[in-house]
Structure 1
Amino acid sequence: MTQYQFNLNLDYLKESVMNSDLDAVIKASVVLVLNSVMEKERDDYLQVGAYERSSDRLDSRNGYYERDLVLSIGRVTLKVPRTRKGEFSPSLFEKYARCDQAFVLSMLEMVVNGVSTRKVKNIVQQLCGESVSKSFVSSLTERLDPVVYAWANRPLNTTYYPYIFADAMYIKVREHNRVVSKAVYIATAITEENRREVLGIRVDHAESYEAWKLFLLHLQSRCIQSPKLFITDAHAGLKKALKEVFVGTVWQRCTVHLKRNIFNALPKKGIVDEKLGLKRIFEAVSVEDARLFKEEFQERFGNNHKLEKAIQILEDGFEDAIQYLNEPVKFQQYIRSTNSLERLNQEVRRREQVIRIFPNTQSAFRMIGAVLMQVNEEQAMKKIVRQQ
């Protein structure tokens, strides 16, 4: 084990204790120790002591230069020994470079988890005694760009996803000195092993047929196979794009959205039996039962003109909403609605609300993509734990 001999100036330390605060004493002690460590490393590198002559000498001493180092106790100034050839480098800075990288990653994780850049700035100042600007914290997050981009464009041909969910949420972005709304498209899936995975993200101007088609084509370009079911709401542009891109895939309309639309069209009072009849339809355990319950509902309440609009909504969306009943029972409760994706959107929204307005589209893609990556990793870890 390497032994270090520290030549501490006790008079200087005594003076620091008597006349300075505790922080100054700690800093002075740390400086003396680190300087001694680096001096010993240079002696070991040269293989010869000071003022000694030897044929084994690799280089010669060439004084010192000052270098600042930010530690948890604040900034300290060290005397770094150097050699004439300049090939010697103390290991101290390599160590703290790794610490700095870990600290930067911690800062990035704080931002991804919804901590504002202002709060991160304050935390850094409290930990290190150093002030950093909000713009500096923001610039650090740009290190996520290649990571998020690689994840968002990873190949999807190694796993088959029989059930894919898709939805769009809106965020605010600054663009050309104006605040505009942009649509964030997110796709998730369930594998044949009933494992959830986030597939992709795209930020576009608005939720439209053209934008949905570009998003679906992006998924297809990553070699994803056509799924059995595509579970979404009833956006007309999405339905049209789905028929063109994933030929043969069945569209499953979210039952929660359909029921909400139906109930919103019902009268506010005096329809207890009608509500029970509608719930019975959507609680059916087979396609045959669901169709039977719907026919019975229409026979019983079809002549009530107050229910005309609700019955029409049911008729228009019914067949698309019961497609999940053709799939294995173990999947049915998970693929009948987009609830899982709605919860994911809420998680993204919780962290997005800290920012409120993104400075540009790239920053939105970066932050939301990083959140989705984190959620995806957490889901993978949960699956591993269950298997163990």
Structure 2
Amino acid sequence: MRFLIDEIVREGARRMLTVALEAEVDQYITELGGQRDGAGRRLVVRNGRHRPRTVALAAGPLEVAAPRVNDKRVDETTGERQRFSSKILAPWCRKSPKISEVLPLLYLHGLLSGDFVPVMEQFLGSSAGLSPATVTRLTQQWTADHAAFQRGDLAESDYVSADAVHPKICLSQTHSCLLVLMGVRVDGAKELIAITGGLRESTESWADLLRDCRRRGLCDPMLVVGDGVMGLWRALAEVFPQARHQRCWVHKTRNVSNSLPKSALSGAKKALQEICNAEDRTHAEKVIEAFAKTYGAKFPKAVAKITEDRDEPLAFYDFPAEHWIHLRTTNPIESTFSTVRLRTEVTRGAGSPVAALAMVFKLVESAQGRWRAITGAHLVSLVRAGARFENGVLVEREEQAA
């Protein structure tokens, strides 16, 4: 029964494709039917059919004999004969565009190029157009896509999250990492701003990336969220001196916990969560003081990591309360790269540095469609316009109050 259903589906798809090809040729001939030679004969006429060929479609492999066109017109500029080329089924085509689109996605998510033939042959019923070389050729487009992305306009981006990740891929140098920037557009949607290779999260690497973003139209962000690596903050002070800094609370909690014994972790983590989730800055500062009194004598290093730079971890309180959940941490970047790590574990590397970076870009671009938009998107424009917020609440401007 299943075999019969598959045959019916394939036959229906074959007939639809044949009808579409015939209609395309008929339209072409009709449009050029008025062009004739000196003897009055039509220059564009039907000329039978091409040899049958197998084309891989979602419905399965289909044998198609495309109609031929005899076009006797001559290009006046080049002197060459004109040729009819079908937009539905190109002469070189052995698989539908949908199949071509899904192959790189399957490769990105873990299917090796050498596995395409046995796997897809079982699914489509044919191995036509599914050689490893075909898949590799398709992936070359990723490099061009990444280069075009790196030239995109960033004038609409704000609220930047920055992080450096260390996936197990082949980059240009031994201590290389990936520098990633994620931003928020005026409509509240999150977007990938930039992704490139850097050396040890150094100030120079971050500064080069930020300068490139500035050339692409990125203005001083209202807030930049990042971890405690100093290279980022020094580069920001050089390139975007007006941008405020917000330390990631996930990284902050991790750093403080590393300075505490296991016996004190439970209570300390609850206190840190209370600071991060306090209803306003006043309550957060009270919890910090209590934390310092409780742990200051025994664990001064852990307490210093909270008290010495308290303004940066609490910067998010000066922005809309609806945005707080998005501004406390860079975790969206790290969670996105779980897909990258899954892929690199399968491939044991990604070839050349250029291919590795392009593959990571396409993985992140694929995940971007699932990123959660910022809550209270209508407030983003107010923040960019310079509106002032205190403890998450909009404060009326002085000129308006006057």
- With normalisation by structure 2, the TM-score equals 0.70
Q: RMSD across aligned C-alpha pairs, in angstroms?
A: 4.1
Task: Check the 8 A contact 2:296/2:303 in 1, yes or no.
Answer: yes
Superposition deviation, residue 65 in structure 1? 7.0
Return the match for 2:262 from 258, 268, 274: 268
Deviations 1:254-297 (A, max 9, x none): 11211121122212226765554444333322222222222233
Return the match for 1:316 from 308, 311, 323: 308
Q: Which residue of 1 aligns with 2:114?
A: 118
In structure 2, C-alpha distance between the alignment counterparts of 1:370 and 1:301, rounded to whole Å: 46
Q: Which residue of 1 aligns with 2:144?
A: 146
Change (3 A) 1:256 1:89: same
Task: Check the 8 A contact 2:171/2:356 in 1, yes or no.
Answer: no
Return the match for 1:171 from 167, 170, 180: 167
Q: Which residue of 2 aligns with 1:155?
A: 153
Return the match for 1:108 from 98, 104, 108: 104
Q: Does 1:235 align with 2:233?
A: no
Structure with the greater alpha carbon radius of gyration:
1
Task: Check the 8 A contact 1:201/1:369 in 2, yes or no.
Answer: yes
Task: Check the 8 A contact 1:63/1:83 in 2, yes or no.
Answer: no
Task: Check the 8 A contact 1:281/1:294 in 2, yes or no.
Answer: yes
Q: Which residue of 2 aligns with 1:328?
A: 320
In structure 1, C-alpha distance between the alignment counterparts of 2:214 and 2:44, rounded to whole Å: 61
In structure 2, C-alpha distance between the alignment counterparts of 1:79 and 1:291, rounded to whole Å: 75
Superposition deviation, residue 365 in structure 1? 2.2
Q: Does 1:371 align with 2:367?
A: no
Change (3 A) 1:122 1:366: farther
Superposition deviation, residue 373 in structure 1? 2.4
Aligned partner letter, 1:363 = A
Superposition deviation, residue 352 in structure 1? 3.7
Question: Between Structure 1 and Structure 2, which shows a larger proportion of helix residues?
Answer: 1
Change (3 A) 1:210 1:270: closer
SS of residue paired to 2:140: helix
Aligned length: 343
Q: Does 1:340 align with 2:316?
A: no
Task: Check the 8 A contact 1:173/1:358 in 2, yes or no.
Answer: yes
Q: Which residue of 2 aligns with 1:225?
A: 219
Aligned partner letter, 2:154 = L
In structure 1, C-alpha distance between the alignment counterparts of 2:262 and 2:49, rounded to whole Å: 84
SS of residue paired to 2:194: strand
Between 281-290 and 317-326, the greater mean CA deviation after superposition: 281-290
Change (3 A) 1:57 1:257: closer
Where does 1:120-135 land on structure 2 (aligned, <5 Å)?
Answer: 120-126=116-122, 127=124, 128-130=126-128, 132-135=130-133
Return the match for 1:351 from 330, 343, 366: 343
In structure 1, C-alpha distance between the alignment counterparts of 2:46 and 2:304, rounded to whole Å: 90
Task: Check the 8 A contact 1:170/1:181 in 2, yes or no.
Answer: no
Task: Check the 8 A contact 1:226/1:246 in 2, yes or no.
Answer: yes
Change (3 A) 1:270 1:123: closer
Change (3 A) 1:118 1:302: same
Q: Which residue of 1 aligns with 2:386?
A: none
Return the match for 2:89 from 90, 93, 96: 96
Change (3 A) 1:295 1:379: closer
SS of residue paired to 1:186: strand
Deviations 1:288-323 (A, max 9, x none): 22222222332344333xx22212222234332111
Aligned partner letter, 1:138 = T
In structure 2, C-alpha distance between the alignment counterparts of 1:262 and 1:61, rounded to whole Å: 78
Superposition deviation, residue 357 in structure 1? 0.3
SS of residue paired to 2:290: helix
Q: Does 1:252 align with 2:253?
A: no
Give the gaps of 5 or more residues in structure 2: 1-6, 34-38, 74-80, 379-402
Deviations 1:91-143 (A, max 9, x none): 7x542237643332222232334433233333443423337432331121112
SS of residue paired to 2:114: helix
Give the share of equivalent positions with the same residue, in percent. Answer: 22
In structure 1, C-alpha distance between the alignment counterparts of 2:265 and 2:356, rounded to whole Å: 45
Aligned partner letter, 2:99 = F
In structure 1, C-alpha distance between the alignment counterparts of 2:295 and 2:169, rounded to whole Å: 48
Between 142-151 and 371-380, the greater mean CA deviation after superposition: 371-380
In structure 2, C-alpha distance between the alignment counterparts of 1:273 and 1:174, rounded to whole Å: 41
Return the match for 1:296 from 252, 277, 290: 290
Return the match for 2:134 from 136, 141, 160: 136
